[in-house]
């Protein structure tokens, strides 16, 4: 599979702190990394993710949900903004909005999400709380393609961490987050290198 001449154009969607965004931005600065973030879009004006984008010299765009009549209209504006910047891949990083079919169709097979559990266990809100309540001994991080469900799309990569008896949501979250920060830039690189193929639910990464 041939390497692209131009870096893959990535758009990051983030609603909050943006530590995964930061990991991606940091990776983009390493020589030879085959992708770059061309825009960060948030539904929250004060998202720290937007500050991180600005600090990295990347366009930071706030789309105010109140400016749009419904989710569909918001997502159409989102798609327009991404297409105007010729975004080839989107990376959702702590993006808290449920996606409408309009977005999913426009970015089918070109939108990634990171979730802090070993999916399909513990999708949705409070995955660490769910994991601790269930008593699992291992948890982790998942990077997957998005589809119309919540955390249900084809899985590209996972990394596991132990769950300790004295873990709290915060200590488990910190251990998992370190894996998210490692995994997400790797997956984006594999996609930019043209090594990732999807057949139904099964994702293959060529060596
Ligand atoms: C991460 O744990 C991500 O997996 C989850 O929300 C958190 C976002 O963290 N969806 P950050 O905004 O990337 O720091």
Instruction: Report the atom number in ligand 1 closest to the C-alpha of 177.
Output: 2
Task: Convert the pLDDT of each residue in 69-119 to its tens digit.
Answer: 999 999 999 999 999 999 999 999 999 999 999 999 999 999 999 999 999
What span, in angstroms and rounded, lies between the C-alpha atoms of 31 and 199?
A: 32
Confidence band of 3 (pLDDT split at 50, 70, 90): low
The closest of 188, 193, 111 to 149, measured between CA atoms, is 111
Q: Which of 93, 98, 121 for mutating ligand 1's site (highest number of atoms within 8 Å of CB)?
A: 93
pTM (whole model) above 0.85: yes
Domain layout of the chain by residue ranges? 8-205
Between the CA of 14 and the centroid of ligand 1 the distance, in Å, is: 9
pLDDT confidence tier of residue 2, bands split at 50, 70 and 90: low
- Phi/psi of residue 198, each to 5°? -125, 125
pLDDT at 5 > cutoff 90: no
pLDDT in the model for residue 41: 98
In the chain, pLDDT over 70 holds for what percent of residues? Answer: 98
Q: How much distance in Å is there from the Cα of 192 to the middle of ligand 1?
A: 22
Q: What are the C-alpha distances in Å from 96 to residues 7, 91, 125, 191, 203?
A: 27, 13, 10, 24, 25
Domain 8-205 annotated CATH 3.40.50.170: yes
User: Which pLDDT tens digit goes with each residue over 53-83?
Assistant: 999 999 999 999 999 999 999 999 999 999 9
- Report the pLDDT averaged over residues 166-192: 98
């Amino acid at each position: 599979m041939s390497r692209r001449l131009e870096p893959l154009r990535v758009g990051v969607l983030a609603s909050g702190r943006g530590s995964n965004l930061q990991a991606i931005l940091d990776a983009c600065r390493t020589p030879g990394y085959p992708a770059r973030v061309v825009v960060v879009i948030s539904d929250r004006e004060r998202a720290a993710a937007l500050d991180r984008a600005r600090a990295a010299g990347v366009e930071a765009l706030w789309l105010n949900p109140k400016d749009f009549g419904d989710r569909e209209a918001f997502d159409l504006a989102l798609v327009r903004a991404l297409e105007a910047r010729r975004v080839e891949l989107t990376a959702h990083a702590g993006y808290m909005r449920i996606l409408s079919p309009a977005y999913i169709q426009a970015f089918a097979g070109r939108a990634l999400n990171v979730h802090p559990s070993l999916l399909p266990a513990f999708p949705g809100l409070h995955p660490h709380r769910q994991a601790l309540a269930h008593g699992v001994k291992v948890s982790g991080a998942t990077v997957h393609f998005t589809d119309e469900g919540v955390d249900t799309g084809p899985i590209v990569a996972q990394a596991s961490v132990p769950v300790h008896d004295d873990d709290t949501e915060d200590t488990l979250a910190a251990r998992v987050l370190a894996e998210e920060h490692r995994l997400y830039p790797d997956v984006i690189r594999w996609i930019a290198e043209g090594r990732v193929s999807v057949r139904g639910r099964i994702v293959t990464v060529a060596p």
